[in-house]
């Protein structure tokens, strides 16, 4: 028996040891392959003379750089590998503008409609960078099969726009189509009680109404009109088309075939891809025998050193750029969240870092937890007492996203930024009818009247709702105070422009919620001036990425996919029904992130998605 136990134990240990060695060898082998692939390349990409920079319009452009987990996904996923940060794109275009080896930029719109949606404010900054390239003599050529408003907004900057003979474009204006769940909740017996302040606080409407309220409809219409007006003015200026003509196209044609797009001067040529390649080969003086034109992708070019071009800086004086991108949540938060405690810690460290002379807070958030927002805002205020804190608003900086901006020295926004939404709410669900209809009931034993207030087994009483309302009113009043003090506005005026109302960046500047129209670069330059740094400064970005360097993953991603047998997948056109399911899934994900300890939120309307 004793020998049997010894043999069994020895066998078990041997098996575990073998498994460990196997896993270790496998992991080591994979890492060896990855490092070998990385080391097989040169220190940096080689840019040949008379090259064209290829900008794939299906690139997923986000404010911040990917986290460590997202970096790992980039190795295995073709789609994630197309992700670039806005700052990286802008810096690459800045280098291209100065680089004599770059003779042109090709805007590849063949898969543009498959891109994860980038907001109009980010596109505005990229478009301005492309305009500088064109002014510097870089020829810009755009080609695509199907353009929507966002893709065309960027492509309209080009010297030459070519559409496939079987392609076309959708120029039918902008819309938003919010989902409403009140009917479904009512059908299945889920009760909803709302406590809010501000007649425009549309975030709660999907749960209590079956369509937009008149107030919410009015503010949404005004916001869309502002964004659409900026689109028409910008595109019209580039294409030399009167904004009224663009409105007529949207009202009367909407979907234009290739020939119609050319007849309306929206494109310059109707042609095939090989014809565009021939033009680009001529631009780059490529040989006729060459398979394609001399080129380098935007992502690869981003790895090119900018020192010789006067772009890269090396200084002990740091300007920190903090990317607050995503839902604001209480606590640390996950990747893609703006965790109150996590971002407060970042600001504490920046405040104590003597090398950091100024901070730019880049906000791309619809808000969320009031507690999380206030924790961040407090640290922003304390940091501002030691060094300048400048806010750059991205696509969305509203509600809690505006809360954290209030104590900054200066606020920059694009004209098509979505901001404001100064209001708070609490929503309370109960499942009494749903449970009762299925034979489930509750009972209660308590020592005080409100001991079971948190129960989901019944609606809240008038007395309980009054308690919630007092709390919401107090926080709303605090929000107004913070805006009034930070923006140096009379509280009465803030109360008039608050009410949960959403504003465009252009409108927000007129009413004092925003100081200047401009993007991230403008905010960084202002920060340098405010800190008296001249040209002696260098950027540092936060939150910091993971332990695995983005450069390493960018170099070996293609090799790793080959080694692991992960093939590129042909993206398919989105199914309309699936799109609606995905929209519902996204909103359920928002509900899961609502973790404020007080249950009170400062957030933009849930499904304000401009399409």
Show which residues are catalytic.
Answer: 201, 399
Please tell me the number of Cα atoms within 13 Å of 571 on its side-chain side: 15
Residue written as token pair 């392959």: 33
Q: Are 419 and 508 in contact (CB under 8 A)?
A: yes
> Hey, what are 506's tokens?
């252009």
Query: From the centroid of its chain, how far is CA 236?
Result: 26
Sign of the CA dihedral 229, 233, 234, 238? positive
Cβ–Cβ under 8 Å, residues 185 and 193: no
Element (H, E) at 204: none
How many residues does this entry show for the chain?
Answer: 611
- Encoding tokens for residue 65? 């750089």
Q: What sign results for the dihedral spanned by CA atoms 574, 577, 581, 586? A: positive
Convert 399-460 into a string of H (helix), E (strand) and C (coil).
CHHHHCCCCCCEEEECCCCEEECCCEEEEEEECHHHHHHCCCCCCCCCCCCCCCCCCCCCCC
Q: Quick check: helix, strand or coil at residue 15?
A: helix
Buried-exposed string 187-215: b where 16+ CB fall within 10 A, e elsewhere: eeebbbbbbbbbebbbbbbbbbbeebeeb
Burial 490-517 (b: 16+ CB within 10 A, else e): eeeebbebbbbbbbbbbbbbebbbbbeb
CA–CA separation, 155 and 159 (whole Å): 9
**Distance, CA of 390 to CA of 402 (rounded, Å):** 13
């Amino acid at each position: 028996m004793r020998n049997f136990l010894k043999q069994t134990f020895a066998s078990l240990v041997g098996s575990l040891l073998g498994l460990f060695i196997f896993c270790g060898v496998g992991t080591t082998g994979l890492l060896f392959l990855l490092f070998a692939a990385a080391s097989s390349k040169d220190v940096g990409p080689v840019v040949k003379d008379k090259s064209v920079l290829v900008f794939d319009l299906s690139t997923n452009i986000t404010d911040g750089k990917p986290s460590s987990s997202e970096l790992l996904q980039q190795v295995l996923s073709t789609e994630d590998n197309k992700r670039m940060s806005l700052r990286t794109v802008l810096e690459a275009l800045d280098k291209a503008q100065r680089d004599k080896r770059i003779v042109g930029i090709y805007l590849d719109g063949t898969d543009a409609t498959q891109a994860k949606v980038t907001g109009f404010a980010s596109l505005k900054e990229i478009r301005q960078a492309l305009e500088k390239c064109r002014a510097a003599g870089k020829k810009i050529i755009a080609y695509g099969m199907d353009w929507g408003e966002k893709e065309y907004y960027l492509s309209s900057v080009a010297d030459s726009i070519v559409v496939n003979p079987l392609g076309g474009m959708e120029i039918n204006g902008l819309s938003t189509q919010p989902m409403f769940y009140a009917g479904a909740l009512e059908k299945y017996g889920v009760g909803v009680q709302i406590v809010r302040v501000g007649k425009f606080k549309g975030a709660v409407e999907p749960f209590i109404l079956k369509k937009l309220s008149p107030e919410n409809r009015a503010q949404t219409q005004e916001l869309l009109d502002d964004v659409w007006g900026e689109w028409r003015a910008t595109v019209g200026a580039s294409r030399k088309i009167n904004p009224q003509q663009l409105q007529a196209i949207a009202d009367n044609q909407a979907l234009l075939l290739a020939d119609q797009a050319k007849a309306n001067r929206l494109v310059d040529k109707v042609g095939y891809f090989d014809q565009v390649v021939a033009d680009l080969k001529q631009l780059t003086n490529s040989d006729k025998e060459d398979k394609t034109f001399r080129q380098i992708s935007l992502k690869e070019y981003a790895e090119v050193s900018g020192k010789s071009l006067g772009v890269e800086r090396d200084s002990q004086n740091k300007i920190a750029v903090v990317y607050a991108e995503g839902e604001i949540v209480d606590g640390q938060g996950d990747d893609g969240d703006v965790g109150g405690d996590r971002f407060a810690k970042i600001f504490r460290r920046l405040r104590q870092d003597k090398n950091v002379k100024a901070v730019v807070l880049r906000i791309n958030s619809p808000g969320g937890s009031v507690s999380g927002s206030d924790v961040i805002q407090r640290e922003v205020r304390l940091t501002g007492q030691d060094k300048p804190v400048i806010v750059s608003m991205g696509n969305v900086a509203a509600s809690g996203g505006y809360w954290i901006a209030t104590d900054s020295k200066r606020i920059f926004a694009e004209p098509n930024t979505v901001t404001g939404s100064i209001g708070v709410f609490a929503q309370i669900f109960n499942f009494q009818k749903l449970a009762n209809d299925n034979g489930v009931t509750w009972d209660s034993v308590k020592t005080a009247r409100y001991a079971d207030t948190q129960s989901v087994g019944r609606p809240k009483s008038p007395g309980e709702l009054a308690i919630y309302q007092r709390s919401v009113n107090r926080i709303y009043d605090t929000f107004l105070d913070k805006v009034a003090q930070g923006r140096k506005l009379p509280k009465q005026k803030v109360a008039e422009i608050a009410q949960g109302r959403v504003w465009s960046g252009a409108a927000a500047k007129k009413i004092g919620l925003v100081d200047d129209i401009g993007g991230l670069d403008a905010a960084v330059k202002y920060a340098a001036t405010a800190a008296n740094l001249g040209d002696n400064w260098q950027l540092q970005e936060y939150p910091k990425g993971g332990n695995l360097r983005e450069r390493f993953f960018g170099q070996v991603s293609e090799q790793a996919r080959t080694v692991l047998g992960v093939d590129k997948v042909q993206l398919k056109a989105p199914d309309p029904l699936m799109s609606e399911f995905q929209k519902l899934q996204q909103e359920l994900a928002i509900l899961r992130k609502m973790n404020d300890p007080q249950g009170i939120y400062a957030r933009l309307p849930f499904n304000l998605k401009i399409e």
